[in-house]
Structure 1
C-alpha cells in the first residue's frame, strides 16, 4: 500500500503562510529545496488543491527548462531537478468545477477530481501504483483527507520565524506520533516527521 505524505514548511508558530496569504514570508532556503527534491523523487503521484496547482504549474515547468544558473538558487541543479520531476509525475487536483486549460504544461499529466470524490480517489491511489502520494502545500485538501484517515505522514519543516496572523497549518485537532527530526547544515530550519495516529 502506498503512503500519503504531506510535506509543508511552516513558521515557528505554526503558520502555513503569512498574513494575507504571503508564502514568501516562510524561510524557504536551500535545505527546504533539497528536502523537496528528496520527497518528490520518492513520489509516484502528486496531489494538489486548485490554488497550489495553478501556482506550481505556472512556475515549475519554466524552472525545469531553464539553463543552469549557479548564481540563482531558483535555477540551480536542485530546483531544475524538482521541476523536471514535477513535469513527469501524474498529478491529481482536488477541485469543484476546475478544468485544466489546454495550454497548461501539465494538461496531459493531470486529473481533476471533485471534492466529493476525493476520498475515494485517494483511497484507490493508495492501493495501486508505486511511490508515495505526495501533497505539497494544498492545506485545505489534505486537512479534508485527515477526516477520512487517508493521510499517513505529515512532514513539517519548521522555520525560525514567527508569523502572527498567518494561516494555521491545521484546521482541526490532529493527533500525531513523532517519527524523527532532522537538522540541515547551514540552515535554521528543522524537519519534524510525524505519523498520523488513527
Structure 2
C-alpha cells in the first residue's frame, strides 16, 4: 500500500504563495531543499497539478547541469527528472511534458480520484506532491491524503494564496512537530483519521 504525502511550505499567516501566485515570496531557506530531497528519495511518484508541473518542468532540468548550483539543488533536479510523475490536468497534453515526457503521465480530472485511490491501494512506493494547492485541497476533501507535512517558514505575507480553500474530509492528527536543523522553519506532520 502506498501513502499520498503532501509537503508544502507556508507562511506563519497561512499562505502558500504571495499575491498573483508568487511562490518566490515564501520564506525559503536551505533546510527546505534538504527536507524535500529526503522526501523525493523515498517516494516512487510525484503528483502535480498542471501549473506546478509546468513550473517544475521549466525550472529543474537546467539546474541538474548547472555547476554553480548547490549540490542539494542538483540532486533534486536529477531525482525530479527520473521519478515517475502524474499530472492531474484537463488542459495539458503529451506535447506539454518536454524533457520529462518519458516519466510523465497525464490524468484527466474525472479519472484522478479513482486512479489515485488505486495507486494507494496497490502501490508499494509513496506518492508525493509539492505545491499544487488546488489539487491538494481536492485530494483532502476526497479523503485521499495520508500525510500532510506543513513547513511553516518565518514570514508573513498578509495576502496571497491560502493553504486551505475547503475543509478536509478527515480529521488532522499531529504526529510530529519540530524545528528543521539550522533553520527558522518548523515541520508539522499530520496523519489523517477515517
- TM-score (ref. length: structure 2): 0.94
User: Residue 33 of structure 2 corresponds to which residue in structure 1?
Assistant: 33
1:89-122, Cα deviation, whole Å (9 max, x unpaired): 1100000131132670001110111111100110
Aligned-pair CA distance for 1:65: 2.1
User: Residue 147 of structure 2 corresponds to which residue in structure 1?
Assistant: 153
1:191 paired to 2:194: no
Tell me, what secondary structure is at the counterpart of 1:101? helix
1:114 paired to 2:114: no
- RMSD value over aligned CA atoms? 1.4
Distance, in Å, in 1 between the alignment partners of 2:126 and 2:13 is 28
Structure 1 runs (4+) deviating above 6 angstroms are: none
Tell me the matched-pair count: 192
Task: Evaluate the alpha carbon distance shift between residue 96 and residue 102 of structure 1 in structure 2; reply closer, same or farther with a 3 A threshold.
Answer: closer
Distance, in Å, in 2 between the alignment partners of 1:115 and 1:103 is 17
Tell me, what secondary structure is at the counterpart of 1:106? helix
Q: What does 1:5-154 correspond to in 2, within 5 Å? A: 5-67=5-67, 69=68, 75-101=69-95, 104-154=98-148
Task: Evaluate the alpha carbon distance shift between residue 17 and residue 103 of structure 1 in structure 2; reply closer, same or farther with a 3 A threshold.
Answer: closer
Distance, in Å, in 2 between the alignment partners of 1:150 and 1:135 is 12
Distance, in Å, in 2 between the alignment partners of 1:129 and 1:79 is 28
Which runs of no fewer than 5 residues in structure 2 stay unpaired? none
Task: Confirm or deny: 8 A CA contact 1:44 1:129 kept in the other structure.
Answer: no
Tell me, what secondary structure is at the counterpart of 1:97? coil
Which runs of no fewer than 5 residues in structure 1 stay unpaired? 70-74
Distance, in Å, in 2 between the alignment partners of 1:185 and 1:4 is 25
